[in-house]
């Protein structure tokens, strides 16, 4: 989804600003719009991490999500199974979809998505 031209996403802090506002730089619409969170404590944190993308900046390291039961999920899986992920958050459940963190896969060449079975890319082990 592309944003209207009057919206601006800061590359420093990930805040969403409306440039039509005279004080747009000091008055963000959504401070937590597009940034990576190591600890996912809310749906807002999860959405911001998804919007920021599957690669860390700086460095471009591949990232993956960690579930409460210790599973690993790719960004594609979390997007595809969004309803299940949201359900776990809304009902404070852990049916295997409760995302609680996001981390970088530096060297684990044997890290696989627990839902699809596809390999999660690593930064150095390839």
pTM of the model: 0.90
What are the extents of the domains in the chain? Answer: 1-34, 36-126
Measured CA to CA, the distance from residue 2 to residue 12 in angstroms comes to: 19
Query: Which stretches of the chain are DSSP H helices?
Result: 43-52, 75-80, 82-90
Q: pLDDT 10s digit of each residue in the chain, 126 long?
A: 689 999 999 988 999 999 999 999 899 999 999 999 999 999 999 999 999 999 998 889 999 999 999 999 999 999 999 999 999 999 988 888 999 999 999 999 999 999 999 999 999 986
């Amino acid at each position: 989804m592309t944003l209207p031209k009057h919206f601006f996403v800061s590359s420093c802090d990930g805040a969403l600003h409306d440039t039509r506002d005279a004080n747009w730089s000091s008055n963000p619409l959504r401070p937590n719009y597009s940034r990576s969170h190591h600890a996912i404590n809310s749906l807002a944190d999860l959405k911001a991490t998804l919007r920021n993308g599957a690669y860390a900046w700086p460095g471009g390291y591949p990232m993956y999500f960690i579930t409460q039961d210790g599973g690993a999920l790719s960004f594609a899986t979390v997007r595809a199974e969004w309803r299940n992920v949201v359900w776990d958050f809304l009902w404070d459940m852990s049916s295997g979809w409760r995302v609680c963190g996001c981390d970088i896969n530096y060297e684990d060449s044997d890290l696989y998505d627990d839902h699809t079975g596809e390999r999660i890319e690593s930064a150095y082990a390839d």
